[in-house]
């Protein structure tokens, strides 16, 4: 293999590493953040549920690419306006990678929140009543009765969203994060070859295959809840 192609493979493995960092950090923040959003959506307080609904509508109703651009450029533009208007003299600029994680985490937490809400609301009210009769506190009812069933029910939907996240990591290139697809496009231009894009496709396929198999394994582990 020629040195140019060895260099290409090395660069693409490095880009794949960045994509995996974006993927895992997004899950790390989005999965727990989705729970309070889901409870805000289900809240009996009309103001709280209304604000949450508007937030969800905005995030789910606008393109992720646009959100990435707003999160990256927005704070800097706002601070520039403050400086021009009030002479604040503040300087601020997001690191590209941090901005990507923030935007993806907010976006995916909203989708996960709706999945959580669907799972929680699918539990029959009779189970809450039975738990109360048995002397369970609301906290015990949620963690020992409701949550195990919710996890089982939301696994397929969560699997679909996580697979989508693997592919959506490519969008962070719009703000200049050197992930897998951006590296592949650069190498494709440098080598005048289709191979970098083909290899990037293989990388994404393998990552999604691993995620799909992991969720199949989780579903099998939770079969005893049937």
Which tens digit of pLDDT belongs to each residue from 181-214? 999 988 888 878 888 899 999 999 999 999 999 9
pLDDT digits (tens, 9 = 90+) for 13-53: 999 999 999 999 999 999 999 999 999 999 999 999 999 99
CA end-to-end distance (rounded Å), the chain? 53
DSSP 3-state assignment of 23? Answer: helix
d(CA 188, CA 197): 7
CA 27 to chain CA mean position, Å: 5
Highest mean pLDDT among 142-146, 158-162, 219-223: 158-162
pLDDT digit string, tens, across residues 72-86: 999 888 888 888 887
Is pTM beyond 0.75? Reply is yes
Distance set, CA 60 to CA 110, 111, 119, 208, 212 (Å): 7, 7, 19, 23, 24
């Amino acid at each position: 293999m020629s040195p140019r192609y060895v260099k290409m493979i090395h660069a693409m493995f490095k880009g794949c590493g960045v994509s995996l960092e974006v993927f895992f950090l997004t899950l790390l923040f989005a999965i727990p953040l989705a729970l309070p959003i889901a409870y805000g959506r289900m809240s009996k307080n009309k103001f709280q549920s209304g604000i949450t609904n508007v937030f969800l509508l905005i995030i789910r109703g606008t393109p992720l690419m646009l959100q990435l651009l707003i999160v990256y450029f927005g704070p800097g533009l706002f601070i520039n306006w403050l400086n021009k208007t009030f002479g604040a003299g503040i300087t601020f600029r997001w690191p590209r990678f941090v901005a990507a994680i923030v935007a993806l985490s907010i976006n995916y937490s909203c989708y996960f929140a709706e999945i959580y809400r669907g799972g929680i609301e699918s539990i029959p009210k009779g189970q809450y009543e039975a738990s109360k009769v048995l002397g369970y506190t609301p906290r015990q009812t949620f963690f020992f009765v409701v949550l195990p069933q919710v996890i089982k029910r939301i696994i397929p939907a969560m699997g679909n969203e996580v697979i989508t996240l693997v592919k959506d990591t490519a969008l962070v290139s719009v703000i200049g994060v050197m992930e897998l697809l951006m590296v592949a496009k650069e190498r494709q231009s440098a080598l005048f070859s289709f191979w970098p894009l083909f290899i990037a496709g293989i990388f994404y396929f393998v990552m999604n295959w691993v995620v799909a198999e992991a969720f199949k394994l989780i579903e099998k582990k939770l079969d005893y809840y049937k």
